[in-house]
């Protein structure tokens, strides 16, 4: 698995996951919607830690810099 997520993408996903967790555990979001958002937040955390998003792969999307770039 090659990394396809940059630092900004990872940080944004972590912030969203934390916000969803806070909303769920403070009962701002409850029921089925809360559980679905909590699962989505967990997926965001997992993909952030491994720096790979499986949805990016089929479309060739990369938000990380390659080693040869000088941008």
pTM value > 0.85: no
Per-residue confidence band for 36, with pLDDT thresholds at 50, 70 and 90: very high
Average pLDDT in the chain: 90
Higher-pLDDT residue of 70, 25: 25
pLDDT at 71 over 50: no
Q: What is the pLDDT of residues 55-70, one digit of tens each?
A: 998 888 898 887 655 4
Which token pair is 13? 């996903």
What are the residue ranges spanned by the domains of the chain? 7-49
- Cα distances (angstroms) measured from residue 35 to each of 18, 29, 38, 61: 14, 9, 5, 28
Q: What's the confidence (pLDDT) of residue 1?
A: 77
């Amino acid at each position: 698995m090659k990394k396809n997520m940059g630092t900004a993408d990872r940080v944004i996903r972590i912030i969203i996951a934390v916000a969803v967790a806070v909303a769920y555990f403070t009962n701002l979001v409850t029921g089925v919607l809360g559980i679905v958002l909590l699962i989505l937040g967990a997926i965001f955390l997992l993909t952030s830690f491994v720096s790979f998003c499986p949805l990016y792969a089929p479309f060739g999307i990369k938000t990380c810099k390659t080693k040869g770039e000088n941008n």
